[in-house]
Structure 1
Amino acid sequence: MQVCFKAFLVIVLATVFAPLSSHAADNGPSFSCAGAKDIEAAICADAGLSAADRRLAHFYGEVKTDILGVGPSGQLAVQRRWLKDLNGDCGAKAWVKQFKSQAECVRGHYDTRLQDLAVSALIQDHDAAMAELRRTAPHDAPVYEAIYLYTTTDNPQARAAKVAAALTPVYAGIPDKKAVFSELDGPETPQAAAAADKAFVLFAQLYSGTLDTPLSWPCAAIPHRPGLIGALDGLWGSSRDNFLPQADCEIMAPQVPAFTGFVDTLQGDAPQCDGTIRYAGYRQFERLKAAALLHRAEAWKDEKVTPPEAGLAKYLKTHAQAAAKAKAALAQYYQTTFKLPPDRAAAEAAVIFALTTALAYDPCDG
């Protein structure tokens, strides 16, 4: 399986997709079916799976660059993990453990990946993304349409009208609207939800809180409508925050691995704080990382930087070289991408580094 699936792996993960043959473009997958075996053969034998593979190749091509156009997104690593899971679950006879057929197993994996890719591509490839989301996530599709309209409609009056119209069926489908939207003074009508950034974000958070699986939030919306970064905030300060919208910023924002790798490792190494407020702290940590990568300075301009507590200070001293590289990488990124003068870039990188490491080390104090 691993050997015969190699051609598929190469084609799907290529940073630039080669033009498909006319036969493949019409009814075959994105790879050659010559000598196909196992999963490849299952895809080639099923018109629906072949079409799904073509759509997956299309969406992957759309989101292989980060949302600011700086460089590669993080989708390559995600694609590799997805392929590994696909191989492990659906290859050889593995699929018999949970599925009626190999095709059913492959189809489920493709649907999950296609939905994620469609969310990431929502702002730049609206029509194709919405067609996919209406198929894979029909219940949430009107919300994604509303996110797109809220992000891309510049005129406030037109935006309010379009978004309210998109949300009308969503509100109609919630059995006890008052119980959901009266909490925390949430917007109780589509018109109220469409009125302003904070109201729209609160709608999305409360709506996501009603779902079994959190709503996905396209990071690409934030550069267009910066107030939408509020969807990444905590809300309840409890485990309920795990059901708030989950953004794809870690994948789709520009990649600064020295910075994100350091703060993520620090969070993993830090002692676990007690109290349910940590859930809000975890979200604030992710929000601050996203703000740093998108250079949304309003996210930290009012924050006060204080000396690190003893435990964090010791950690930073022990890992001084990696910490210095993290700050330097972020400062260089600000110079290159946002054309900041070196002194200002270094100063901002130092502030965001201090705030992010403090949250990573102790989210309960965020």
Structure 2
Amino acid sequence: MSQHAPGRYPLPEGSQDVGAQKRSAWQRFKRWPVVLRVATLGCGGLIALFVLALIVAIVAVMLSPEGAEERAAETDEQELVLEESEEPEASEEPQESEEPSEEPTESETPSASPTRTATPTPSPTPSPTPAPAPSRTSTPTPTANPNEHTAVVVRIIDGDTVELDSGDTVRISGIDTPERGECHFDTASARMGELVLGKTVTLTRDREDTDRYDRILRYVDVDGTDAGITLIEEGLAKARYDSRDGYGFHTREPDYISADDGAPLQTCAPEPAPAPAPAPAPGQQGANCDPNYTPCIPAFPPDINCGDLDVSVRVIGTDVHGLDGDGDGVGCEGND
């Protein structure tokens, strides 16, 4: 009988060998270099994480709504196939009760035996669960043209310049009307007043915002009518300040030029010529009177000035004495 410590029982011989092998394997592993041990443990950890992630993914797919729908669809397909495979057997039961004919017919050939199955019909494709429709958002209303605004005209400065209720002065783009003192100044100003004075107009910016006088440059439309082109068509304005004279092209330039070509600027009636001076009465011009003036003044030479005379004179010929300084036909007006 072998001797052993009191209270202990000897282990089976095989188990002692296994424990020794485990201890020797662990001791051999501990003798490996640190880098190799770390690499081995890291690889093992990565493999364990990969396996764990794979298990989690499989469980997630099995529990996801899409997976449940797919499994339900597969179950429905299997049930449809089973129902279709059972229908031919039910339809062939009455035929078995009939007396078989002596000669086999084509229907009794092995190809037409009860084992044949009905023509498979396409299984209905499971319709996917419709995704929730996104809430409809209202289509944004297009914003107004940032280059347009409205205002009320409160004063007419001239045919191409007006003043607004905002205090801004507007120089109408693309046109030019007569200036103060020129022919048809009053006519063009009055016509612009008829079109826009006291009305709400649409002001449209096309190129520069202001001119050198700080007036805003705009097209002026009232009730759908372009006030600028209206004056051009009526011969009270010219198409100006465009690409033809170095100011750059503007949007309405072609229309303005076309209207200008079709309606030339109105011309002023010529001023009546001054009435001719009355002929001197017989005997008024003496031998020493200059025939270029009336009443009688000394003939040239010598030259005389207005200070040498007591009255004004009318030039009826050539002003040889230079008495008519302003060229109005009357000299020495200050002597009256």
Query: TM bucket by the smaller chain?
Result: under 0.3
Say which structure, 1 or 2, has more relative contact order (CA 8 Å, 6+ apart).
1
Give the number of the structure whose residues are more often helix, by fraction: 1
- Of Structure 1 and Structure 2, the greater strand share is in 2
